[in-house]
Structure 1
Amino acid sequence: MRRRLPDAQPGPLDPAPKTTAAVPDSSALRTGLMGTRQADGKAVGHVLAQGVTNWTTAGTIPAKPEIGFKARVCVPIRWRGGLLGLLIVLDADGALTTSELAAMTASAQELAALMIAVHGPPVAAADRAREAAVDDLLAGEPEVRRAAIQALADGEPGPLGRHVRAVAAEVRDRGEPGPSHVTIALRHALSAQAATDLGHKALYRVRARGVALVLCTSSPATEHDVDRFAAQLIHRVEDVSDGRFTCVAGIGSAVAGLSAAWSSYRQARLACRAAGQLLPSPVVRWSELGTLGILLRLPPEELRIEMLPDELRRLLAVDRNRRLTATLRAYLDTGGSGPAASVALHIHRTTLYYRLDRIAELTGLDLSDGRTRLTLHMGLQLLDFIQIEETRRRNPVSEP
C-alpha cells in the first residue's frame, strides 16, 4: 500500500484524540466525530477542501497551523462505492508505518459493513420523501401543493405554524469546490439551525448549489429575527467552505399558511439573485428590491445589451470611459439632487453640472423630463442585471 496517496483533505478533527471518524447524515456526510468533541467548521472545511469525499484509498491531510490542525491520515469508508464516512488518524510526525496503513484500510472495510448494519443506507427514505414534498409545495400545481401540505403535516409530530416565510440560499464559487463539499456545507448549516433560532420549524429542500427553506412559526417573526436566521445560515455554510465559496440568501414576504409558501419562495429566489450583486448585502428581503423586483422577473434569455432602452444606449455609445454614465447614475440615485450627487461622486458641483450638460449635448436627452429620467434610471439598473446574467451564463449554477 502506498505511504501517501492523494494530496490530502482536512477532516473534522480535534488535536487531542488519536483516531476519529466522520459519519454521514441521511443524504450527505454529517461532520461529526466518534470519541471526541464536535469539530469546528474551519477544520471541517479544511478537510473537505482536500477532496476527501472523492478519495477511494488512504491519503494524507496536511497540517494547517493557523487553525490548530495537525497532519492526519484519512481512509474513506465506502459501501458499494458510496461514501459512508472517514476514518482519520492523527499523524503529526509522519510516523505511521505501511502495516499500520494497511490495518486502517482493513478497519475501514469492517466499519462500512457495521455502519450499514446499524444505520442503514446513507439516504433515508423519510428524508427523501420530505424534501420531495417541499419541492411539490414550492413548484407544483394547486392540486400537487395540497397533496404536499398533507404529506408534510402527516410526517411532523406537531402542528406546523400558520405564519410562513420562505428563504432561498445560494452558493457562489470562489475556487473549485466539489459538489459533495457544497452539499455537506449546506446540510451542516441546516443541522445546526434545526433545533435553534426563533423556534422555527424549517422545512427545506437541499439542491445542487443551494437550499429552499420554508419557515413556519406559531406567531409572526420579526424582520430582524428572519434576517438573523438567514445571516447565521450563511455564516455556518461559509465556516465549512475553507474560502472556496460564499453564500447569499433572499427572503420572501410573510404569508398565511403553507398554501401560499410558493409565492413567498418565488420572491425569495428573486431576492437571492440580487444579493451580493445588484445589492451589496448577502441577505436581501423582497421588500428591499423596489423596481429591481420587476427587472428580476424578466426571462434570463432576454437579458442582453440590445434590451437596453434607446436613451441609455445613446449615452453608452459616446461615453467610452463610463464617467458620464457614473455621473448620471449618482444624479438619478439621489433623486436629481445636485448637492447630494456631487458629494457622492466627490466632485465640485460645477463639475457635476458640466457633465450633465455634456450628456444632454452628446445625446440630445432632456434630463429635466420625468419620463426620460425614469427610463434612464431603470435602464441603468437593467444594465447591472444584464452584466451579472452574462457572468452567470459563463459560469452557470443550479438555482436554489
Structure 2
Amino acid sequence: MIDNELQRIVDALAESLGRSVAINDPTIHLLCASRHFGDEDAVRVHAVLQRDAGSAVIGYLLAQGVTRWTEPGVIPARPDLRLQARLCAPVRWRGVLLALLMVIDPDRSLTSDQMNRVQDAVAAMAAVLYREFLVADRHRAARETALRKVLSGSEKQRKKALESLKEGQRVRTVPSVTVSVFDVWDEADTETAQIELALRASMETLARPDPAAAAYFVKDCRAVLLQLGDKEPAQDQLRRQATAVAQQVQDAVVGGARCVVGIGDPCAGLDQAWVSYERAAIATRAARMLPGFEGVAQWAELGAYAPLLQIPAKRLTPNLVPAPLRALIAQDSHNRLVQTLAVYLDHAGSSPQAAAALHIHRTSLYYRLRQIEEITGLDLTRGDDRLNLHVGLCVLTLLEGVK
C-alpha cells in the first residue's frame, strides 16, 4: 500500500516538473522512481535497474552531508561517476530523516514555482513514509537487539536471543557464520549519528543483494556484520570486501575518520557466532594499532599478537616490556641492535636469512648478536630467552600503535 502511495506522489511530481524524479532511503538506496524524461544519467539508470546506485556514488552523496540537510540543496555533478547535478530534498517528519528526494537538474533551471511543487510533494511523502518508519524501526530494533544478544558473553542471553530470531524467522539457520567488526575512529569529533548512518549505508549495500546471506547491527561508531552461508567464505574475498567498505565509510564521513575492520574465524552456526565476534573485535585492535595490516586484520593472521591484544588498554604500558629489552633499548641510541634482534627473531634465529634481510655480512650479524647478549644478559640460543625478547618486541609494537 505504501509503495503505491509513494509511487503516485513521485509520478505526479515528475509529470508536473517534466523531469526524472527518484526517492531514496537515508542510506541512498532506491525506494521508487518515476519514468524517464530524457534527462536520465548513468547513475539513475543503474539505480533503477539494480535498486542501488553503487558504493562510489553512495559514498559521494553521503560525503556531501545530505543526511544532515534540513532544506533542499544541489548535489554537484561528478563526471567521473557519470553523475549529473541534481536537486536533493530531505524528507523529514518531526526532525527524523525518512528519505531523500532527487530531481535531476543539470543546468539548475528549476523555477520557484517548481520548487514549491517539490516542497508540497516532500510534505506528502513525509506523511506516507512516517507510518512505515514506525513499523520498520520497531522490527529493525528488535532484530538488532536479538543479534547483539546472540553475540554476548552470556550463554543464557544467547540462548534466549537465538530462540527469538528463529521464531521470528529474522535470520536463517546456516552451518557457517563469519563475523566482521567495523570500528570508526574519528579525531574530528564528527557527530555519532553521521558515522552511524555511513556504517548503515555500507552494511545495507552488502546485505541488499542477498538479505538471507547477511545480518548486521550498528551501534554508534561500530557495525557488526554476520555473513551466513552453507560454506566458509574465502578469506581473500572477505579482505577485499572489508577494505572496500572501510573506504566507503571513510569517504562518507567528513573530517578524516578512519574505519578499521576485524574479521573473525568462521564458526559452526549462530550458536557459536559469539566466538567469531570476540575474535573479530580483537582483530580490530590489531587493524588500528599495527600498520602492517593496513586497517583490515583477520584473526587467523594475528599470530603471537592474538593473546597480547587481549590486554586491556589501560594495562598496556611500558612496564610490560621485559627488563632485559628495556636495557637494550636504553643503550641502543641508533636502534641498530633492536632492529637486528627483531629481524633475527622474525627469521626464527636463522643467521643466513637474518643477515640477508639486514643486508650485512654474517660476521657483522654475529658481532651484533654478541652485543645484544652482553647487554641483556640473555642467551639467544635458549628458546625461553628468545621468546621473552620476542614477546617484548611485540609489546613495543603495540605501544607504538597506541601513540
Give TM-score, length-normalised by structure 2.
0.79
Q: CA deviation at 1:99?
A: 4.5
Runs (5+) with no aligned partner, structure 1: 1-16, 392-400
For 1:338 and 1:45, how far apart are their aligned partners in 2?
Answer: 49
1:61 aligns with 2:67: no
Q: CA deviation at 1:377?
A: 0.6
1:313 aligns with 2:322: no
Q: CA deviation at 1:269?
A: 1.4
Q: Which residue is 2:240 aligned to?
A: 231
Q: How do 1:92-241 and structure 2 match up within 5 A?
A: 92-117=106-131, 119-121=132-134, 123-156=136-169, 160-172=173-185, 179-194=192-207, 201-218=213-230, 220-221=231-232, 224=234, 226-229=235-238, 231-239=240-248, 241=250
Q: Which residue is 1:327 aligned to?
A: 340
Matched residue count: 366
Q: 2:309 aligns with which of 290, 296, 316?
A: 296
SS in 1 for 2:90: strand
Is the alpha carbon distance of 1:80 and 1:158 closer, same or farther for their aligned partners in structure 2, counting shifts above 3 Å?
closer
Is the alpha carbon distance of 1:358 and 1:103 closer, same or farther for their aligned partners in structure 2, counting shifts above 3 Å?
farther
Give TM-score, length-normalised by structure 1.
0.79
Q: CA deviation at 1:132?
A: 0.3
The residue identity in structure 1 corresponding to 2:370 is D
Instruction: For residues 151-205 of structure 1, give each alpha carbon's deviation from its aligned partner in whole angstroms, at most 9, with x where no partner exists.
Output: 01111178512444333233455987654554344333433433657x9643322
Equivalent pair of 1:190/1:233 in contact (CA under 8 Å): no
Is the alpha carbon distance of 1:292 and 1:189 closer, same or farther for their aligned partners in structure 2, counting shifts above 3 Å?
same
Q: Which residue is 2:104 aligned to?
A: 90
Q: Which residue is 1:50 aligned to?
A: 64
Q: Which residue is 1:13 aligned to?
A: none
SS in 2 for 1:368: coil
Q: Which residue is 1:268 aligned to?
A: 280
For 2:82 and 2:148, how far apart are their aligned partners in 1?
Answer: 41
For 1:186 and 1:69, how far apart are their aligned partners in 2?
Answer: 23
Q: CA deviation at 1:300?
A: 1.4
Q: CA deviation at 1:217?
A: 3.5
Q: How do 1:274-285 and structure 2 match up within 5 A?
A: 274-275=286-287, 277-278=289-290, 279-280=292-293, 282-285=295-298
The residue identity in structure 2 corresponding to 1:374 is L
Instruction: For residues 123-157 of structure 1, give each alpha carbon's deviation from its aligned partner in whole angstroms, at most 9, with x where no partner exists.
Output: 52111111101111111522211110100111117
Q: CA deviation at 1:113?
A: 1.6
SS in 2 for 1:221: coil
The residue identity in structure 1 corresponding to 2:24 is V
Is the alpha carbon distance of 1:234 and 1:151 closer, same or farther for their aligned partners in structure 2, counting shifts above 3 Å?
farther
Equivalent pair of 1:167/1:230 in contact (CA under 8 Å): no
1:31 aligns with 2:40: no
Q: CA deviation at 1:79?
A: 0.6
Runs (5+) with no aligned partner, structure 2: 1-17, 34-43, 48-52
Equivalent pair of 1:330/1:344 in contact (CA under 8 Å): yes
Question: CA RMSD, aligned part only?
Answer: 3.1
Q: CA deviation at 1:48?
A: 0.9
Instruction: For residues 190-245 of structure 1, give each alpha carbon's deviation from its aligned partner in whole angstroms, at most 9, with x where no partner exists.
Output: 33433657x96433222222322334434x425x2x54245325424534643755
Q: 1:77 aligns with which of 91, 97, 105?
A: 91
Q: Decide which structure has greater helix share.
A: 2
SS in 2 for 1:169: strand
The residue identity in structure 2 corresponding to 1:32 is L
1:249 aligns with 2:261: yes
Equivalent pair of 1:327/1:345 in contact (CA under 8 Å): yes
